[in-house]
Amino acid sequence: MKSASTYRAVQAVSKGKLELTEKPLVDPPAGHVRIRVEACGVCHSDSATVEGILPIAWPRVPGHEAVGRIEVIGNGVEGWKVGQRVGVGFLGGSCGYCEYCRDGDLVNCINQGYTGVQQDGGYAEVMIAKASGLIAVPDDLSSVDAAPLLCAGLTTFSALRNSPVRAGDLVAIFGVGGLGHLGVQYARRMGFEVVAIDRGGGDRAELSKKLGAHHYIDSSSTDVAKALQALGGAQMVLATASGGKAVAAALGGLRRGGVVISLGATDEPIELSAFDLLFRQLGVDGALTGTSKAGDATLRFSAMSEVAAMIETMPLEKAAEAYAKMMSGKARFRMVLTMT
Ligand SMILES: [Zn+2]
Ligand SMILES: [Zn+2]
């Protein structure tokens, strides 16, 4: 039986192993808040914690798509209220004093922890979060719907919003999965001509059109570069599928001056020719989620323009099952843990 002084959490304890545990409630330190978590998305990057891909001091609670209500506010926190619904994403909150912060570049803060990596995340009924990392959740977005937008949504929304593409430009989303199915929706609603690219025809093509794609390219039967060039060449390709080869393949489909933004976390090298960079002025870039303010905008834009992740929910105690389903690639498309 749960007492008021403890809460349930699911933590990674060794490589590949998640277990349900009970943790003591503690007050938030200065600059932090304590959140009663209502929902938390399961993201592929949680494998950094569960499989120990990043250096991890186990036990560690994963989860960086957490939504809940503030229940205690630590000393020195301004601008947030008890009872307010907030989100916590991958970036755990900037420091405000490093040279990047002082220059306004909060994403690259060198004193910023990753949620669920250096500090416990949202696979729990309660979590502590740094106030500078909090994201405001609009009333008309449910906690379950908001959760996957805090990483998968913010990453794709922010990459599109910060790119040099303009309304009417041809934008390709490479991979219609956890990230890509949101990328297609955002790109359409931002006013781009949208190409979705994935393996296979039928279902995936139909889904892509339903999400808002104007065109669909089946990469298993079509030369992606040629097909994009036949449409005039993409100004930008959002490569959401992991793998350096996908990024390299996309380069051939760009128009001059176009850019590939790689969102799939992988250490696979990207092979490209300096000729492409020189004579076609192509660019290759990455994007790491976004600022907490960009998180606010992601949620508001999603609510306003009816962008939603396709989700499957599971209760917190089934976190290991939800994680396994996500890792197997069988989730359609985002798993979300619920706490009540
Ligand atoms: Zn994530
Ligand atoms: Zn900083």
- When pLDDT is averaged across residues 126-148 and rounded to a whole number, the result is 98
CA–CA separation, 258 vs 282, rounded Å? 5
3-state SS, residue 210:
helix
From the CA of 40, which ligand is nearest?
A: 1
pLDDT in tens, 17-26: 999 999 999 9
Q: How confident is the model at residue 73 (pLDDT cuts 50, 70, 90)?
A: very high
Please, which residues have CB within 8 angstroms of residue 49's CB and are 6 or more apart in sequence?
12, 56, 60, 62, 116, 117, 121
From the CA of 113, which ligand is nearest?
A: 2
User: Which of 10-24, 33-47, 161-175, 231-245 has the lowest average pLDDT?
Assistant: 231-245
- The label of the residue with tokens 């843990």 reads 337
Nearest Cα to 119, choosing from 131, 127, 107?
127
Instruction: Report the pLDDT value the prediction gives residue 140, as an integer from 0 to 100.
Output: 95
- Would you mind telling me the total number of residues written for the chain in this entry? 340
Distance 71 CA to ligand 2 centre (A): 26
User: Which residues on neighbouring strands pair with residue 194, listed in sequence order?
Assistant: 171
Distance 93 CA to ligand 2 centre (A): 9
CA–CA separation, 50 vs 15, rounded Å? 6
Instruction: Report the pLDDT value the prediction gives residue 1, as an integer from 0 to 100.
Output: 46
CA 142 to chain centre: 17
Instruction: Report the pLDDT value the prediction gives residue 192, as an integer from 0 to 100.
Output: 98
3-state SS, residue 231:
coil
Distance 135 CA to ligand 2 centre (A): 17
pLDDT in tens, 109-127: 999 999 999 999 999 999 9
CA–CA separation, 300 vs 296, rounded Å? 6
Distance 179 CA to ligand 2 centre (A): 27
From the CA of 112, which ligand is nearest?
A: 2
Residue 14, token pair as written in the block: 């060794």
Tell me what percent of the residues of the chain surpass a pLDDT of 90: 85
What's the mean pLDDT when you consider all of the chain? 95
| Alpha helices in the chain, H assignment, sequence order | 47-50, 99-102, 143-146, 152-161, 180-189, 202-211, 224-230, 244-251, 274-279, 292-305, 319-327
- The label of the residue with tokens 């949680």 reads 46
Tell me if the bond preceding 157 is cis, omega within 30° of 0: no
DSSP state of 54: S
pLDDT in tens, 96-113: 999 999 999 999 999 999
- When pLDDT is averaged across residues 157-175 and rounded to a whole number, the result is 95
pLDDT in tens, 21-43: 999 999 999 999 999 999 999 99
DSSP state of 253: T
Distance 47 CA to ligand 2 centre (A): 26
From the CA of 107, which ligand is nearest?
A: 2
Instruction: Report the pLDDT value the prediction gives residue 141, as an integer from 0 to 100.
Output: 97
Cα dist from 270 to 177, 243, 263, 306, 326, whole Å: 21, 8, 13, 35, 25
CB contact at 8 A, 40 and 65 = yes
Instruction: Report the pLDDT value the prediction gives residue 276, as an integer from 0 to 100.
Output: 84
Q: How confident is the model at residue 242 (pLDDT cuts 50, 70, 90)?
A: low
From the CA of 155, which ligand is nearest?
A: 1
Tell me what percent of the residues of the chain surpass a pLDDT of 70: 99
pTM of the shown model? 0.95
- When pLDDT is averaged across residues 191-206 and rounded to a whole number, the result is 94
Instruction: Report the pLDDT value the prediction gives residue 266, as an integer from 0 to 100.
Output: 77
pLDDT at 248 over 90: no
pLDDT at 3 over 70: no
Please, which residues have CB within 8 angstroms of residue 298's CB and are 6 or more apart in sequence?
135, 149, 150, 153, 154, 157, 158, 290
Q: How confident is the model at residue 288 (pLDDT cuts 50, 70, 90)?
A: confident
Instruction: Report the pLDDT value the prediction gives residue 246, as an integer from 0 to 100.
Output: 77
- When pLDDT is averaged across residues 293-319 and rounded to a whole number, the result is 98
- When pLDDT is averaged across residues 163-184 and rounded to a whole number, the result is 96
